[in-house]
A and B are shown apart, each in its own frame.
Chain A
Amino acid sequence: MFAAAIFHKEYDVVGYSSAKWDKKINYSGAASICDVAEVQPNFFITPGLCEPNPKLENPSFSFLFIMEAPADEQLYPIAVLVDELKHEDTTLRLNAIRRLSTIACALGPQRTRDELVPFLDESTDDEDEVLLALAEELGNFSTCVGGNEHAHVLLRPLETLAAVEETVVRDMAVESLCKTAELLNQQQMEDHFVPLVKRLSSGDWFTSRTSAAGLFAAGHTKLTPETVDEMRKLFARLAHDDTPMVRRAAAKSLPKLAIVLSKEQLLSDLIPLIDSLSRDEQDSVRLLVVEAVISIAEKLDPEETKTHLLPILKNMISDRSWRVRYMIAEKYIALSKAVGDEIVKSDLITSFVQILKDNEAEVRTAACSQLPGFASLIDREVVLGTFVACTKDLITDTAQQVRAMLATHISGLAPILGKEQTLENLQPLFLQLLKDESSDVRLNIIRQLEQVNNVIGIEMLSQSILPAVVELAEDKQWRVRLAIIEYIPTLARQLGPDMFDKQLGTMCMSWLADPVFSIREAAIVNLKQLIEVFGSEWATATVIPQISTMAADSNYLHRMTTLFAIATIASTLDCKLLDESVLPIVLSLANDPIPNIRFNVAKTLEALVPLLKQSDDTAEHVDNKITPVLNKLGDDTDSDVSSIDSSLFTIHISLRFFPFFFLSRFRTSTYKYYITNKNPSKRSEA
């Protein structure tokens, strides 16, 4: 970039930019020719191009020369932005746009309006990411252009952005336009915003027309009645557009429009539009009308709703496309609240039964999720009479997701029906769902037990539900048993310790002796979680005695399970309990005739040692009780047993502050092996 500049003896620099920058730039800096020559060595003095400048009083000392653009020109804010927007790196361009307000701040409001905004309007030829950022920034730009009275200058670049191909950019531009419209006064709306909406809605491409559909609701209250009428006609034209994309956008903006329009306008204009859109050939358009119906019904009287909206609604409930019916099912509670009690009673109850029996599983699933919410809106007798029969059918539904959704929400019916009816009607359904083959269904029903618990009380619940749980716990299929074990902690939390011991305690222990290893393993993890729920005292009273009897079992596999269980639950018990009750059990097994048990004793001790070391009292016992045993195991005749010991010693040593004090107390083969192989340098010390 080159610029021409005249230097004056008073050191004023008056610059004329080259062809690229045809605006006159004034530099009045403290720069003498010599100074400039020093800092800018590459300038050329061309006296022939000298122009007389009326501003300079004494032109005798003037030169005209060309040089690299002086530092000041590069600081010209727009130039900075241009530079940044020329980067190859998208992230840098993005950063430039994100900090657009700095540029505007440097330019001041006047020049932002005159130069920056037109420039931005022209530079909308970038990647979508950058354009999205630009659209977002422009939405918050009103202070930078000099406040609300100038905010309308932002409409032009936003209009360009609202017509681009990428949907995300367009949506952001529409959002920013709506934001800007809120700031405009009536005159600006009439002069700038309304023409913009008109231009967009008559655009050739559907992109601009879809954007236009989102703009009708913005700033609606500020317009004169004539303009409002005109705008409504325009919107009606969009709602009857040839392309489904535009009709969809119009249907989407209906709820917003319904909020700003008056009741008469709703009845005269919107209802016919909704009617025609609800009978659109595209189901993607029809399903968007559901929301509009809800927001309009909220503004109308029950009587008006009945005459105007009910036919449309009925039509949609029995729509041939399941997506539309799904939409209805999903919004059923909101819909029922909007239309009011009377219509719910007269029409919506039967329609709900109809969608509960829909032949698409998705629709039934959505309906199931609305079940308790809708039931709370209507009479108890009706719920009993109609819905309970429906749910009975749904429990044996072929689609798993329907049953799973029903299992989540069916307990919500319990508070509505009350204690007796729940026991009489719902309980059989619970039991049946609890025996469902799908684990999702069972899990969902167990998760929701608390709600039922609050209604019928824990006594009744345990009497009715627990037998089913127990039955499943003894199922022949080990996968079913496994599934139940996984839910036991959840169930235990709801039942509380007393009820749990009475009903399920023995069952949890019997799993420890299960013939399938996975079940035993899961039962051990389950014990750990139960101790986390009920606390250490519960463990002392119930778990520890059970474990100690198992340690004396004749089957070596059961003795091994004992060790596994101890290793797993040890971290949840406190040190004292470990030392007094758990450690003796482990040590007593060290003399077991089976090498496998001895091997696992060593492994279990490995898990216990760091825990015992946490407290000072018990740390002593490590030396007194554990080390002699380990010592003996180190000399074991079985090679596996003595080999695990060597690795245990290393862990031992690393945990101690003075390893050689500790080590010097044993002279086992393992220890020697360790010293010679792993730490030869310290041998002399030992």
Chain B
Amino acid sequence: ERERNEWEIEKAEYKARIALLEGERRGFANLKLDLMKRVKMLEYALRQERKKYMNNP
């Protein structure tokens, strides 16, 4: 009986840990997405700048 309780407590702890890590991972994934978007935006802006420069040097 006691062993079973301990096992359940352990399991609950692991579950909590997994939930925490999953949450963190989601956060990082979102952050990465945002950062990628920003890099693309900057690349685009650079292309535009370069084109402007090519047209009227």
Contacts and interface: CB of A to CB of B under 8 A. Distances in A.
Interface of A: 28, 71-72, 74-77, 80, 83-84, 87, 89, 91-92, 95-96, 99, 102-103, 105-108
Contacts of B41: 75-77, 80, 102-103, 106
Contact of B44 (A75, A84, A96, A105): A75
Contacts of A95: 31, 34
Contacts of A91: 27
25 contacts: A28-B51, A74-B37, A75-B40, A75-B43, A76-B41, A77-B45, A83-B34, A83-B37, A84-B34, A87-B30, A91-B27, A92-B27, A92-B30, A92-B31, A95-B31, A95-B34, A96-B34, A99-B38, A103-B38, A103-B41, A105-B42, A106-B42, A106-B44, A106-B45, A108-B45
A97 to B, nearest CB: 12
Looking at B37, B41, B42, B51, the one whose CB has the most chain A CB atoms below 10 A away is B41
A94 to B, nearest CB: 11
Contacts of A107: 45
Interface in B19-52: 27, 30-31, 34, 37-38, 40-45, 51
A105 B38 CA distance: 11
A80 B42 CA distance: 11
A74 B44 CA distance: 10
Interface of B: 27, 30-31, 34, 37-38, 40-45, 51
A44 to B, nearest CB: 25
B38 to A, nearest CB: 6
Nearest to A76: B41
A89 B23 CA distance: 11
Contacts of B34: 83-84, 92, 95-96
Nearest to B44: A75
Contact of A72 (B30, B31, B38, B44): B44
Binding site secondary structure of chain A:
helix
A103 B31 CA distance: 16
Nearest to B51: A28
B2 to A, nearest CB: 26
Contacts of A99: 38
A89 B30 contact: yes
B27 to A, nearest CB: 6
Given A102-B42, A105-B42, A106-B42, A89 B37 contact: no
Contacts of A83: 34, 37
- Nearest first, the 5 closest Cβ-Cβ pairs linking A and B are A106-B45, A75-B44, A75-B41, A80-B41, A75-B40
Nearest to B47: A29
A110 to B, nearest CB: 12
Looking at A75, A77, A102, the one whose CB has the most chain B CB atoms below 10 A away is A75
Nearest to A74: B37
A501 to B, nearest CB: 57
Looking at A71, A76, A106, the one whose CB has the most chain B CB atoms below 10 A away is A106
Contacts of B51: 28
A429 to B, nearest CB: 59
Contacts of B27: 89, 91-92
Nearest to A107: B45
Given A89-B27, A102-B38, 20 more contacts: A28-B51, A71-B40, A75-B37, A76-B41, A77-B41, A80-B37, A84-B37, A89-B30, A92-B31, A95-B31, A95-B34, A102-B42, A103-B38, A103-B41, A105-B42, A105-B45, A106-B44, A106-B45, A107-B45, A108-B45
A30 to B, nearest CB: 11
Contacts of A28: 51
Nearest to B41: A75
A95 B44 CA distance: 21
Nearest to A96: B34
Nearest to B42: A106
Contacts of A80: 37-38, 41
Contacts of A75: 37, 40-41, 43-44
A132 to B, nearest CB: 20
A28 B54 CA distance: 14
A75 B27 CA distance: 21
Nearest to B43: A75
A105 B49 CA distance: 12
Contacts of A102: 38, 41-42
Contacts of B40: 71, 75
Contacts of B45: 77, 105-108
Nearest to B23: A89
Contacts of A96: 34
Nearest to A73: B44
Nearest to A84: B34
Contacts of A77: 41, 45
A84 B35 CA distance: 10
Contacts of B44: 72, 75, 106
A3 to B, nearest CB: 15
A92 B37 CA distance: 13
A77 B38 CA distance: 8
A89 B45 CA distance: 27
B57 to A, nearest CB: 18
A80 B37 CA distance: 7
B21 to A, nearest CB: 16
Contacts of A106: 41-42, 44-45
Contacts of B42: 102, 105-106
A83 B37 CA distance: 10
A99 B34 CA distance: 11
A75 to B, nearest CB: 4
A103 B30 CA distance: 18
A103 B39 CA distance: 10
Contacts of A71: 40
B8 to A, nearest CB: 32
Nearest to B26: A89
B30 to A, nearest CB: 6
A518 to B, nearest CB: 38
Nearest to B46: A106
Contacts of B30: 87, 89, 92
A53 B9 CA distance: 70
Looking at B42, B43, B51, the one whose CB has the most chain A CB atoms below 10 A away is B42
A28 B47 CA distance: 11
B44 to A, nearest CB: 4
A102 B44 CA distance: 13
A92 B29 CA distance: 11
